[in-house]
């Protein structure tokens, strides 16, 4: 491959809902450019993009694939992304390194929930966008409806560049409004014949062409003056105005496609080549420190790692974009996250599962390198002394929590190491150990995402795992004051054990006054690791309990708060005042007062109208309008509080507050209810009281578990 400078490199990312045809389009673009002599098929697992064993087995993309092609003196790097939102950890970084986003829409489904979710990732990145309305040869295709839905979602920036003369099985002609010509395709697609626009279409084409000219002119004052003077712009002037509009995000050009039959892909590639901004045209990247990283071959090298993969016989493979400078084999760069020095081995450009070695890569280009020590997704590598660090990637929060353990307990350590390696590839996976329940919990985006993790564990690491539902993190507290005392006395010959503790407990809240009638000698406020507080008051007078025993009483109270009296869940937000007691000069010791404090607190707690509290999550559900009723009915059966419903086009957004206990595997249920078209997000909101009948059942279940078999 010939060398390209930063002016002649275009980086595009293919985005869209599952089934919109991104992988087929990528395959067709490679074929159209002559890099392939025969196009593969997604159904057969023969495409360049879907190259992993897992993707061939499942029949859809689970990771982004990096490809490249050459088109009329430009190099186009293509990143094909998964359509399922469960794999957004692959999509988000790809958007970060792309210069133009190609949003592929399915002409028979229009704007789907998945399209909206992708758009939410695109908007913060502020990248130029091209819309490719695909599958116009499908019997159910509707260009006008899809265009209207796109405008509902993206706004007036949606700009028609082409429209189909017919749709469905007879689709083979496209009116191009930039060149004011008609492209006529044969049944097998490929290179079209150019013909004049039919007279019957002339009025519509002229009207849309005028709108296109005005859209191009409004982005540049000089072009606007020229347009007023001549009443027209030539193709070069329009291209200049459209590029400015794309950069300002005031213009989202719309193209017509049948990627499967190779109709329209060549014209799209020509537009990318002639009009879409190059890496050098894009605004400079911003570093964490607020400085600019200009895309230029001059200056100290800066490299951004946007994807990490592990291959069976190769090990770790890092995919990166050269943000500034030039990269050569043997070069040493500093990892901004760890401070370690990474030596760059042989450089490659990616071509799906294949890699082609190259001598160098310049600013704006995308490449791969193997066996770096510490580099992972999101890492910035920079030349020594430059100190540049690019912002971390913000991945969406997991929507499904599952416990995971090795089927063979002897392989727990191996499982832990394997999960850490998988997490390096996919940072959207969250791993945590719940000390309350003793469970390893893995946070993923859904059941399909979980299946991907299990597949890797089984096939790459030869590990069999068991998954389950995490225990709900309940909390216990009290609703009214109560008092209790406990005398601990034990005599076994020689020194015995003796302690007597009198205490008063009450619900605690910020700013509450000191307890009436008790002299507070010392206050200790403990921020509990599980949330909430314990306020411990020393109200002892007359020396009935030595100060040296107060920490032991506090330790006993804390011990019982860690495993509350109701269900063994942590207690919170309680004030404890120790106001009286007795001790023995010989038999009193720390363990005696710890036991007495624990027992007195437990007795007082049970008299203080104890309350079990459950975590409440704020849930946002997006569903197609025609499935709203089924989803609402399901939510109402989960003790939900519906806060509101907002409509956007054909997609409805439900906002609700739902107990965490009712959300176990909710993403799976939602996918079943909506045939995969619905999605949700959830975040912890607060703790609220459990209904009385549920509290009674949970307490009884806990008591049965505590009774020895």
Domain count, the chain: 5
Q: Does residue 52 have a pLDDT over 70?
A: no
Residue 3 has pLDDT above 80, yes or no: no
Q: Is the pLDDT at 172 greater than 80, yes or no?
A: yes
Look at residues 583, 608, 633 and tell me which one is the last residue of a structural domain.
608
**Of 56-65, 303-312, 597-606, which has the strongest mean pLDDT?**
597-606
Average pLDDT of the segment spanning 608-620: 96
Residue 312 — pLDDT band, cuts 50, 70, 90? confident
Residue 635 has pLDDT above 90, yes or no: yes
pLDDT at 50: 66
How much is the pLDDT for 695?
A: 95
Residue 109 sits in a domain whose CATH number is 3.40.50.300
Q: What is the DSSP string of 308-319?
A: EEEETTTEEEEE
Both 556 and 645 in one domain: the answer is no
Would 529 be classed as within a structural domain?
yes
The tens digit of pLDDT for each residue in 505-522 reads 999 999 999 998 899 999
What was the pLDDT predicted at 392? 87
Is residue 689 very low, low, confident or very high in pLDDT (cuts 50, 70, 90)? Answer: very high
pLDDT-derived band of residue 704, with 50, 70 and 90 as boundaries? confident
- What pLDDT sits at residue 63? 85
Label residue 147 by pLDDT band (50, 70, 90).
very high
Confidence (pLDDT) at 55:
65
Tell me, yes or no, whether 618 lies in a domain.
yes
pTM equals 0.81
Domain membership of residue 388 (yes or no) is: no
| pLDDT band for position 480 (cuts 50, 70, 90) | very high
Residue 289's domain comprises 285-383
How high is the pLDDT of residue 7? 86
- 638: domain CATH number is 3.30.70.240
- Identify whether 454 is part of a domain: yes
The answer to whether residue 225 is domain-embedded is no
Residue at 530 is within a domain: yes
Let me know whether 584 and 492 are in one domain.
yes
Q: Per residue, what are the HEC states of 54-119?
A: HHHHHCCCCCCEEEEEEECCEEEEEEECCCCHHHHHHHHHHHHHCCEEEEEEECCCECCHHHHHHH
Residues 320 and 343 in one domain: yes
Task: Tell me the DSSP string of 327-390.
Answer: EETT-EEEETTT--EEE---EEEEETTEEEEESEEETT-EEEEE--SS--TT-EEEETTT---P
pLDDT of residue 234: 85
- Residue 376 and residue 412 share a domain: no
Structure token pair of residue 72: 């009329």
Beta bridge partners of 195: 182
Q: Which of 608, 626, 658 is the last residue of a domain?
A: 608
pLDDT at 166: 94
Provide the pLDDT for residue 709: 39
Q: Are residues 16 and 165 in the same domain?
A: yes
Instruction: Give the integer Cα–Cα distance in Å for 528 and 155.
Output: 49
Task: Please tell me whether residues 348 and 446 are part of one structural domain.
Answer: no
Same domain? For 11 and 142 the reply is: yes
Q: Which single residue is written with the structure tokens 């020594």? A: 384
Query: Is the confidence at residue 5, as pLDDT, over 80?
Result: no
The answer as to whether 634 is a domain residue is yes
Q: How far apart are the C-alpha atoms of 699 and 434, rounded to whole Å?
A: 21
Identify whether the C-beta of residue 526 lies closer than 8 Å to the C-beta of residue 536: yes
CATH of the domain at 485: 3.30.230.10
Asked whether residue 603 falls in the same domain as residue 662, the answer is: no
Averaged confidence pLDDT in the chain? 91
CATH number, position 451 = 3.30.70.870
What CATH number is attached to the domain comprising 323? Answer: 2.40.30.10
User: Are residue 41 and residue 54 in the same domain, yes or no?
Assistant: yes
Task: Flag whether 231 is in a domain.
Answer: no
Same-domain status, 33 and 118:
yes
- pLDDT of res. 44: 63
pLDDT (mean) for 694-705: 91
pLDDT of residue 196: 96
- Give the per-residue SS3 of 650-669: CEEEEEEEEEHHHCCCHHHH
- Of the three residues 593, 608, 623, the one that is the final residue of a domain is 608
- Let me know whether 87 and 152 are in one domain: yes
Same domain, 108 and 162: yes
């Amino acid at each position: 491959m010939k060398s390209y400078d930063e002016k002649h490199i275009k980086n595009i990312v293919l985005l869209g809902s599952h089934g919109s045809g991104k992988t087929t389009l990528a395959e067709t673009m490679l074929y159209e450019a002559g890099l392939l002599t025969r196009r593969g098929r997604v159904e057969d697992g023969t495409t360049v993009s879907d190259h992993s064993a897992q993707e061939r087995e499942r029949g859809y993309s689970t990771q982004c694939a990096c490809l490249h092609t050459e088109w009329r003196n430009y190099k186009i790097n293509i990143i094909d992304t998964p359509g399922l939102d469960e794999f957004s950890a692959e999509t988000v970084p790809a958007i970060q390194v792309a210069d133009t986003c190609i949003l592929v829409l399915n002409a028979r489904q229009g704007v789907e929930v998945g399209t909206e979710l992708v758009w939410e990732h695109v908007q913060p990145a502020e990248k130029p966008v091209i819309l490719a309305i695909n599958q116009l040869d499908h019997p159910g295709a509707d260009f006008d409806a899809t265009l209207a839905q796109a405008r509902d979602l993206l706004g007036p920036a949606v700009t028609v560049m082409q429209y189909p003369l017919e749709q469905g099985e007879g689709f083979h002609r496209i009116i191009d409004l930039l060149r004011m010509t008609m492209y006529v395709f044969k049944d097998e697609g490929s290179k079209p014949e150019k013909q004049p626009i039919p007279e019957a279409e002339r009025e519509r084409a002229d009207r849309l062409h005028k709108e296109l000219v005005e859209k191009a002119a409004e982005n540049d004052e000089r072009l606007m003056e020229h347009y007023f003077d001549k009443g027209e712009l030539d193709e070069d002037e329009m291209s200049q105005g459209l590029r400015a509009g794309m950069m300002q995000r005031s213009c989202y050009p719309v193209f017509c496609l049948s990627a499967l039959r190779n109709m329209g892909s060549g014209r799209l590639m020509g537009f990318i080549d002639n009009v879409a901004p190059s890496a050098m045209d894009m605004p400079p990247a911003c570093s964490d420190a607020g400085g600019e990283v200009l895309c230029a071959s001059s200056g100290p090298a800066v490299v951004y790692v946007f994807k990490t993969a592990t291959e069976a016989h190769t090990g770790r493979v890092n995919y990166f974009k050269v943000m500034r400078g030039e990269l050569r084999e043997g070069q040493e760069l500093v990892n901004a996250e760890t401070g370690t020095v990474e030596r760059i081995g042989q450089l490659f450009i990616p071509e799906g599962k294949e890699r082609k070695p190259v001598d160098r890569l310049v600013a704006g280009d995308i490449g791969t390198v193997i066996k770096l020590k510490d580099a992972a997704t999101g890492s910035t590598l920079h030349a020594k002394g430059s100190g540049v660090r690019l912002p971390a990637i913000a991945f969406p929060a997991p929507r499904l929590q599952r416990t995971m353990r090795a089927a063979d307990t002897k392989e727990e350590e191996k499982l832990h190491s394997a999960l850490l390696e998988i997490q390096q590839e996919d940072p959207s996976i969250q791993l945590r150990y719940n000390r309350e329940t003793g469970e390893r919990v893995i946070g993923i985006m859904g059941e399909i995402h979980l299946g991907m993790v299990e597949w890797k564990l089984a096939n790459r690491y030869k590990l069999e795992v068991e998954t389950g539902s995490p225990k709900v993190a309940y909390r216990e507290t009290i609703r009214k004051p109560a008092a209790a005392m406990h005398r601990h006395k034990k005599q076994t010959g020689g020194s015995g054990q003796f302690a007597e503790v009198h205490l008063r407990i009450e619900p605690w809240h910020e700013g509450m006054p000191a307890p009436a009638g008790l002299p507070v000698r010392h206050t200790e406020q403990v921020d509990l690791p599980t949330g909430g507080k314990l306020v411990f008051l020393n109200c002892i007078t007359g020396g009935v309990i030595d100060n040296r025993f107060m920490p032991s009483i506090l330790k006993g109270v804390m011990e019982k708060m860690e495993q509350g009296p109701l269900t063994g869940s942590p207690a919170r937000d309680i004030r404890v005042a120790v106001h009286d007691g007795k001790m023995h000069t010989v038999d009193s010791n720390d363990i005696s007062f710890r036991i007495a404090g624990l027992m007195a607190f437990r007795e007082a707690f049970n008299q203080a109208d104890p309350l079990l509290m459950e975590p409440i999550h704020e849930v946002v559900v997006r569903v197609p309008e025609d499935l709203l009723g089924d989803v609402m009915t399901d939510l109402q059966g989960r003790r939900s509080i519906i806060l509101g419903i907002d409509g956007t086009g054909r997609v409805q957004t439900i906002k609700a507050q739902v107990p965490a206990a009712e959300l176990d595997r909710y993403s799976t249920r939602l996918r079943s209810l909506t045939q995969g078209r619905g999605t949700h997000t959830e975040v912890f909101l607060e703790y609220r009281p459990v209904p009385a009948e549920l509290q009674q059942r949970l307490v009884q279940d806990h008591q049965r578990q505590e009774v020895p078999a």
